[in-house]
Amino acid sequence: MRDLILLRRNSSISAQASNNANGGNITINSPQGFIIAVKSENSDIIANAVEGNGGEMKINSAGIYGLENRTQLSLAPKISEINASSDFGIDGTIEINTPEIDPNQGLINLPVEIVEPKLNQSCQVGDHQDRSSFVIAGRGGLPMSPLEPLSSEAVIADWIILPTTNAVTSSKIPTAPKPILEATGWVVNSQGEVILTAGVPKPFQSSLGCVGNT
């Protein structure tokens, strides 16, 4: 494998021997690749023996993760490990070659002191009689008036002070709303419509002329 060897769920690379046999030899040459396993899934690379000697193991890899190099006489349960031990014989040899990479290599320590900015002393302070000026040189200069939009024909003008105007504010006196009166009567107009009234209508009285006795 050139890039990755992934060991999962009780997988193993084994050269294990039984009885009085010696453990086998395992060589993994992947200098640009990685060997990765989950530590709690019991995935092993083993070359152990019982009565014979443990095998020889040589691993060249860019990095090994999740595997524990153990030298116990028996394999530990539920641990992903690299093991070349022997129960009654001589333990085998395990040679692991990984590049020594310093993650801090090439880093530069930045200065912690804050440099206070200094003013350029090339311009000397003039006499107090000379007046200073402030000029804004934008597109087309300043507008003719602060209230007018900027145009291409505007020229640079001096600062001016706008005259203060007395703003006349008129306050309207709120009028009291007309009270709502309860209807107390009704009349019929000439169109035959019933109109509610708030006052008691006066009875219609026809003017009677004086009739002389004849």
Residue 63 has pLDDT above 70, yes or no: yes
State the pLDDT at residue 176. 76
pLDDT score recorded for residue 175: 78
- What number is the average pLDDT over the span 102-112? 63
Tell me the torsion sign for CA atoms 140, 143, 144, 148: positive
19-33 residue pLDDT tens: 888 888 988 888 888
Confidence category of residue 73, pLDDT binned at 50, 70, 90:
low
Rounded mean pLDDT, 49-59: 88
Q: What percent of the chain has pLDDT over 70?
A: 60
Please give the pLDDT value at position 187: 84
**Beta-bridge mates of residue 187:** 195
Nearest residue to 82 (alpha-carbon basis) of 13, 6, 27, 3: 13
pLDDT tier at 106, thresholds 50, 70, 90: low
**What does the pLDDT average to over 115-124?**
62
Q: What is the mean pLDDT of residues 192-208?
A: 65
Spatial contact of 41 and 8, defined as CB atoms under 8 Å apart: yes
- First-to-last alpha carbon distance for the chain, in angstroms, is 149
Sheet of 81-83, strand order = 12-14, 44-46, 81-83, 68-69
Domain positions in the chain are 4-97
33-45 pLDDT, tens digit each: 888 888 888 888 8
